[in-house]
Amino acid sequence: MVILRADKVLLRPWQVEDARWYVEARDEEIFRWTTEKRALSVAEAEAAIQQINSSGDKPCFAIIEPQSGELLGNIALALDEPGDRSGEIMYWLAAPGRGRGIATQAVKVLCQWAFATLALEQIGLRTLVDNLASQRVAERAGFQRTQTQTEHLWFTLTKP
How many H helices and E strands in the chain?
Answer: 5, 8
CATH 3.90.226.10 fits 4-158, yes or no: no
Q: What is the pLDDT of residues 102-145, one digit of tens each?
A: 999 999 999 999 999 988 999 999 999 999 999 999 999 999 99
CA angle, 109 as apex, 144 and 114 as ends, to 5°? Answer: 80
Q: What is the pLDDT of residues 17-61, one digit of tens each?
A: 999 999 999 999 999 999 898 999 999 999 999 998 887 667 899
What ranges do the domains of the chain cover?
4-158
Burial class (CB in 10 A: 0-12, 13-18, 19+), 132: exposed
